[in-house]
Structure 1
């Protein structure tokens, strides 16, 4: 199936349908779990999404397919894929491979955390950063990693253009230990000016849990968490 056929298929399914597929895949893969988990913000969350558990070839391949399908459905155009260290490196590479399989061959680059002082040197590896750059990562927790990527991309003379993530938690960010009214994704979109493509979001995750009796035990806890920490999606 080529890129145009995939795009037509996902147009028929709809973004919600793609998100539902992804949520079920994440649950089946053990990447999306339910219970009590402490977040970076110190909150007790009833669910935990750990993209590091997409830990074999088959899972990573299917994950890349979801990213590629979401990107095609979004209509976002870009020239280079950038995978920020560390989780973004395998994610960006896998997405580049999947897009190439679909006939959309894009250059790929990533960064090192520490600059190399021999060989080619520097912190950037792979294709030159130029034109519109797509950053690929798992989630946006606080926007810090995105700001670091933006600085690297601009320093290379390219334009940070968009971010692709697996899950948008749609919850309030924190500043100075205090909740604010916007999410990290809203900050990246509205303040930093980048387009954001998420395969799924919290509202769609909750919709999936409500769709079958199997997940009903988790619905109340996730709904309560969303009511307490969720952002106003009208802004």
Structure 2
């Protein structure tokens, strides 16, 4: 089967990996917005060394290809903590050694104290997370980064759902972060990539989900 010319091979490989790992599932799932989604992406299920290593490889390859300029990584608690550490290791393996930091949800009142852990926030800081649902985590990260005297520069996520943040809105959470918060955002894969994967996959059990995902996009997509 011939793939569309605008196919992103890295994104297709990532979607396939997410399905194989059981991280990207199909069925009926309620989202934070109360919508019934025909698919669900749970990055917490990249739950062993091999899967986490491959995930970090996808992040690093997307970052290198994106051309985003950054001096360090910041992982917002909780999922961002593991992501920042793993991606920092993978970037170093690719010859790009950058520091990383993350935050605690609760301030520590002994030892080094405070809510920030890791390298001192400085320069252009790239925020790393799994998805952007409402932009809340990004806004909190921006506040912490700016309070430390550094510059929040961009965000990288695993999957961009490309859907309206609210039913009466016209932009997605990612578009909100780009327009209102002024940060560049790149994703390993998007809803468009997921649909391409379902439409071209040879497994009929997967192809059957394509129509439902397309209908969901038509209703809630941006």
Q: How does 1:181-196 map to 2 (within 5 A)?
A: 181-196=170-185
The residue that corresponds to 1:228 in the other structure is 219
Aligned to 1:22: 14
* Distance (whole Å) between structure 1 residues aligned to residue 21 and residue 201 of structure 2: 18
SS at match of 1:164: strand
Alpha-carbon deviations, 1:182-203, whole Å to 9, x = none?
Answer: 0000000111010111000000
Query: Which of 195, 199, 220 is equivalent to 1:206?
Result: 195
Counterpart position of 2:25: 33
The verdict on how the C-alpha distance between 1:139 and 1:39 changes in structure 2, with shifts beyond 3 A counting, is: same
Q: Report whether the alignment pairs 1:105 with 2:94.
A: no
User: Deviation per CA, 1:22-50, whole angstroms, max 9, x where unpaired?
Assistant: 00000000000000000000000000000
Q: Which runs of 5+ in 2 are unaligned?
A: 1-5
Per-residue Cα deviation, 1:106-160 (whole angstroms, up to 9, x for no partner): 0010000000001111000000001100001000000000000000000000000
User: What does residue 168 of structure 2 align with?
Assistant: 179
Matched length: 215
Q: Structure 2 CA distance, aligned partners of 1:23 and 1:179?
A: 29
- Deviating above 2 A after TM superposition, structure 1's stretches of 4 or more consecutive aligned residues are none
5 Å-filtered alignment, 1:144-159, equals 144-159=136-151
Q: Distance in 2 between matches of 1:166 and 1:15?
A: 17
Other-structure match for 2:49? 57
Query: What is the Cα deviation at residue 15 of structure 1?
Result: 7.2
Show the counterpart of 1:75. Answer: 67
The two structures, once aligned, show a CA RMSD in angstroms of 1.0
Aligned mates of 2:94, 2:202 — CA distance in 1: 37
Change (3 A) 1:115 1:107: same
Q: Contact (CA 8 Å) 1:15, 1:73: kept in 2 or not?
A: no
Calculate the TM-score normalised by the size of structure 2.
Answer: 0.95
CA contact (8 A) 2:84 2:100 kept: yes
Q: Which runs of 5 or more structure 1 residues have no equivalent in the other structure?
A: 1-13
Q: What's 1:7 paired with?
A: none
